[in-house]
Structure 1
Amino acid sequence: MTDLVLNNSDSAPPKVVSQAAHDFAAALAGAPQFQAFEAAAMDLDQDAVAQRAIADYQAKQQSLQALLMLNAVSPADRAEMNRLYQAFADRPAVQAYVRSEADVKALCQEVGDLLSRRIGFDFAAACAAGGCC
């Protein structure tokens, strides 16, 4: 991981950093992409059919865990897992959630790129090296 060394003239007072973080969080929360993501997450959480479908898939996956690790799942069990997963993935609430999650990720990447250009520090490279993002 790249070490970022700041001397006292390069760092901002904690109160300024805290306020900037607060302002950033408020701006992100107000973004249409984030609001759509929160609404989609709530809809997915309240979709009983989707919740049952993912629970069924996870139960089947767990019951086959040893076979999955050995790549020894029968074609019938694999087909059943695929069917259970599709029952989940085909739900409109799931599809809306996946789309909105991708939109928020894209927004965050754009913001990270903008910040990186603005301050001259590549967030993505630093995070990839350290695994923080």
Structure 2
Amino acid sequence: MSVEDKKRLGRRFFKGYTKLVESKYWYNHYVALIFGASPASNLGSLIAIDWKGDELISVTRFLGNNDNVKLYLGRNPETNMHELWLGLIGLDGDGSEFIIQSRESIDLDSKTVETLPSYLKVISIS
């Protein structure tokens, strides 16, 4: 399944950390709406993301105030790629994505991991 196929479906996310997208360039865009709840029984947060592929990112929370839904950004020293990750860090978690635009490398089969890579730092969500 291609990114174009996933634009309407998006991806599902669960407890842990998942790489959303990676980019080598500053001029690419990843624009998406992310919904996350962690723990899944709590009210969730709806977040809009506009990422240009490096440290330039705009994040807005539309609704909800779930502090266990976090975004992380950093450069992977092994690949020299900028990476954007989602964290659902409560007892459990449930989330989904609606991709609006992407010229980035999206790993559609990205696995959720329990430990966040050390090169990532948390992004403030306003």
Task: Name the TM-score, length of structure 2 as normaliser.
Answer: 0.19
Query: Could you say which structure has the larger radius of gyration?
Result: 1
| Higher percent of residues as strand | 2
Relative contact order, higher structure (CA 8 A, sep 6+): 2
**Greater helix share, structure number:** 1
